[in-house]
Amino acid sequence: MDPPRFSGYSPRTVRVLPQPPGIPDHRSANRFLLWLARSEWRPLAWAGGVDSAYRLCGVLMSAAVGATLDSGVVEGDPRSLLLWFGVLTGLTLLSTALVPVGVRAMAFNWYSSAYRTVQVVIARSVALGPTLTRRLPSGEVVAVGTDDIDRVGDFYEDSALVPASVVTIGAVSVLMLSSHVTFGLIVLVAVPVMVVGMVPLLRPFSRRQEHHRTRQAELTTRATDLVSGLRVLRGVGGERTVGDRYREESQRVRAAGVRVGWMDAALQAVRELYPGLLLVGIVWYGARLALAGDITVGQLVAFYGYTGNLAVAIRYLMHASSLFISARVAADHVVRVLSLEHDHPDPEHPADPPAAPCDLRDPASGVVVAAGRTTGVVCSDAAGATALAERLGRYREDEGDGADTLLVETATGREVRLRDLPLRDVRRRVLVASNSAHLFSGRLREELSPDEGLSDDRLAAVVRAAYADDVVRQSPAGFDALLTERGREYSGGQQQRLRLARAFGLDPEILVLVEPASAVDAHSEAAIGARLAAERKGRTTALITTSPLLLDHTDHVLFVDGGRVVAEGSHRDLLASAPGYADTVLRTVSTSGKP
């Protein structure tokens, strides 16, 4: 559908948002804001132009008021009075017509800058993967996506006021110069002096605002944390403690807010006082001139009007600078997310990607995941299993040379370290599917399919392979059922099978599964074991588990004890030959231990 058109709104700036955000400059808050301005220069310029035109109307009205007084009122000519009334009404109508154009243009700048900011933050978060939450509390990032975009948007929305104010000041100077040189000079000197006179206040304002923002972010983080852990709190208790802690933090934010408030108030007082002083100066001098007959009463009134226009312009300049400071504080937090680097950077000189099929080898433990087979890996302790999975998928790098996980071309025997390949390639080829994987809200079909999508037949096949048919059948909508946040409407076992189906759907060259059937009953466990082997037939799979039901369906089993492979063979051979192995996997239940 076409967006609605409003009179005077340049079609070039009517765009559907969001637009592709581009690559942000994250070297500093200022550079980020500059980058935003460069990306949006056209709508920004348009808004500035429209607002300038609107403000010019205001200046012309002041001139018209003076003229009305001189020719219409003082000279007592009713026709002239009506004429000037007409001029005033005409200018009024012109301003009126400019209003919706300006409002739209300025609002557009809010949307485009705020959306672009949230887009780059999301893009960066996505690119950082596991690094993100390791480096920053999640509440901090969420606060950027909610609070900080508002501040950035607010500044760009009102940034049109800056050129408009400059134009106003210019126009007033010209008008005053043309009617009286001294007046024009007073304006030209006084305005910069006033703006500079505000600068000493801006520094403490900025400092206090930064303090307030920090406290505010901490409060948001606390609220997010509280909400995420709400089921624990409501289930086990601790509401009072957490509530008290929130209240303390909230009171700190209040105190910081009051401190900013004093600066706000001071700035506002100055915004009233400085232009007021200029006004007195002009009126006093003007009155002396008028008394001497150098200018008319109407001119004096017009000057008064001009100083009103000037006052507005100066106020807006000051307002824009306060907004700029808030935006810079916010941009600082945005930049903090944007400038994070991934813990596993891509190599500068990536190695030639090894050709499939490949073995996956972990020298640290001696584990080899053989190409085309399903390899069971039994670790005697859970922490060892987690560490092994992380090494196999390059989620952690062990210190020291020669301990890096390798891909080994089976055809040539060439070894390539995972760290010498771009991370994206590693992720594409090796998928580590663990139970902490996140289920996203959305349609089930979309959640189970890789980007290119799956046919319904294939979708049904992967669901069957994960023994998750009943999960899909649970909703009448089938694959179109909606998954809420984290798939919470499904039980732990159902979520686990959905995760498994999702991994099958992606069909990676090498799949590392960590305890894929730990939350299901024994029947399902056995079924998953059998179907998994069939689904991954001819593909490379590592199955890190202690479940005998799964291990029974593997081609080969490695037993890792004390961080090293100590025995290998088939599941049944190992049961017979390796004593520690049987203790780890067999579910013998000694009745002596019964409490």
Partner 1 sequence: MTRTTEHVLPRTDDPELPMPAETAALPVAPVSMVWTRLRRAGRDHGGRLLAVVALYGMAALAALVAPWVLGMVIDAVRGGADPGRIDLLAVVIVVGLLFHAGFTLVSVAQSIRFGEGVLAELREEFVRAVLRLPLGTVERAGTGDLVARSGRDIGHLSHTVRHSVPVMAVSTVTVAVIVTAIGLLHPALLLAWAPTLLIIWVSTRWYARRAPDGYIRELATYSDLTQSVTDTVEGAHTLEALGRQLRQTARADAKIRRAYRAERYTLWLRCVWYPPLEFAYLFATACTFLVAGYLHANGMLTVGQIATAVFLSVQMTRPVEQLVDQVDSLMMGFTSLRRLLGVRLAEERPGVSEADADHVPGTVEVRGARFGYTDTEVLHGVDLVLRPGERLAVVGPSGAGKSTLGKLIAGVHAPTSGSVRVGGVDMAGLSPELRRERAILLSQESHVFRGTVAENLALALDAAEVDRDRLWEALAAVDADAWVRSLPDGLDTRVGSGDLTLDPAHVQQLALARVVLADPEVLVLDEATSLMDPGSARHLERSLAGVLSGRTVVAIAHRLHTAHDADRIAVVEDGRVSELGSHDELLARGGSYADLWRAWHGAV
- Site residues for partner 1, 56-75, by CB under 8 A, read 61, 65, 68-69, 72-74
Burial of 280 (0-12, 13-18, 19+ CB in 10 A): exposed
Contact status: 23 vs partner 1 (CB under 8 A): no
Contact status: 431 vs partner 1 (CB under 8 A): yes
Contact status: 10 vs partner 1 (CB under 8 A): no
Residue linked to tokens 């100083």:
307
Contact status: 480 vs partner 1 (CB under 8 A): no
Burial of 179 (0-12, 13-18, 19+ CB in 10 A): middle
What residues from 322 to 361 belong to the interface with partner 1 (CB under 8 A)? none
For partner 1, the binding residue among 27, 42, 89, 579 (CB under 8 A) is: 89
Maximum alpha-carbon separation in the chain: 120
For partner 1, the binding residue among 412, 436, 455, 592 (CB under 8 A) is: 436
Least distance (Å) from partner 1 to the CB of residue 367? 17
409 has which bridge partners? 358
Burial of 588 (0-12, 13-18, 19+ CB in 10 A): exposed
User: Alpha carbon 382 to chain centroid distance?
Assistant: 35
Least distance (Å) from partner 1 to the CB of residue 446? 8
For partner 1, the binding residue among 445, 502, 531, 536 (CB under 8 A) is: 502
Measure the CA–CA gap between 34 and 155, rounded to whole angstroms: 12
Contact status: 294 vs partner 1 (CB under 8 A): no
For partner 1, the binding residue among 159, 386, 405, 540 (CB under 8 A) is: 386
Least distance (Å) from partner 1 to the CB of residue 20? 9
Q: Which is nearer to partner 1, 41 or 440 (CB)?
A: 440
Would you list the DSSP string of 396-421?
S--SSTT-S-EEEETTT--EEEGGGS
Binding mask 31-50 for partner 1 (x = CB under 8 A): --------------------
CA distances from 452 to 303, 445, 446, 448, 449 (A): 69, 12, 10, 11, 7
What residues from 387 to 426 belong to the interface with partner 1 (CB under 8 A)? 393, 424
For partner 1, the binding residue among 308, 357, 376, 516 (CB under 8 A) is: 308
Least distance (Å) from partner 1 to the CB of residue 52? 16
Contact status: 132 vs partner 1 (CB under 8 A): yes
Measure the CA–CA gap between 592 and 595, rounded to whole angstroms: 8
For partner 1, the binding residue among 197, 200, 262, 537 (CB under 8 A) is: 262
Residue linked to tokens 């941009």:
331
> Could you tell me if 378 and 339 are in contact, meaning their C-beta atoms sit under 8 angstroms apart?
no
Q: Collapse the DSSP code of 369 into the 3-class scheme (helix H, G, I; strand E, B; otherwise coil) and give the result.
A: strand
Burial of 346 (0-12, 13-18, 19+ CB in 10 A): middle
How many residues of this chain interact with partner 1, rule: CB under 8 A? Answer: 184
What residues from 518 to 557 belong to the interface with partner 1 (CB under 8 A)? 518-526, 546, 548-549, 552
Give the CB-side neighbour count of residue 216, counting CA atoms within 13 A.
20
Q: Which is nearer to partner 1, 27 or 254 (CB)?
A: 254
For partner 1, the binding residue among 233, 461, 566, 567 (CB under 8 A) is: 233
Nearest residue to 516 via CA among 536, 495, 535: 495
Least distance (Å) from partner 1 to the CB of residue 15? 10
What residues from 437 to 466 belong to the interface with partner 1 (CB under 8 A)? 437-438, 440-442, 450-451
Would you list the DSSP string of 301-350?
HHHHHHHHHHHHHHHHHHHHHHHHHHHHHHHHHHHHHHT---SSPPPSSP
For partner 1, the binding residue among 170, 474, 509, 555 (CB under 8 A) is: 474
Q: Which is nearer to partner 1, 273 or 411 (CB)?
A: 273
What residues from 553 to 582 belong to the interface with partner 1 (CB under 8 A)? 572, 575
Measure the CA–CA gap between 84 and 81, rounded to whole angstroms: 5
Would you list the DSSP string of 543-577?
EE---HHHHTT-SEEEEEETTEEEEEE-HHHHHHH
Contact status: 126 vs partner 1 (CB under 8 A): yes
For partner 1, the binding residue among 67, 392, 471, 501 (CB under 8 A) is: 471
The amino acid at residue 401 is D
Contact status: 238 vs partner 1 (CB under 8 A): yes
For partner 1, the binding residue among 8, 22, 137, 563 (CB under 8 A) is: 137
Least distance (Å) from partner 1 to the CB of residue 401? 26
Q: Taking contact as CB under 8 A, which single stretch among the options 120-128, 170-178, 361-369, 413-421 is the one that binds partner 1? A: 120-128
Least distance (Å) from partner 1 to the CB of residue 498? 11
Binding mask 147-186 for partner 1 (x = CB under 8 A): x--x------------------------------------
Tokens of 419: 């760290």
What residues from 273 to 292 belong to the interface with partner 1 (CB under 8 A)? 273, 276-277, 279-280, 283-284, 287-288, 290-291
Tokens of 294: 């150098």
Burial of 372 (0-12, 13-18, 19+ CB in 10 A): middle
For partner 1, the binding residue among 341, 352, 456, 470 (CB under 8 A) is: 470
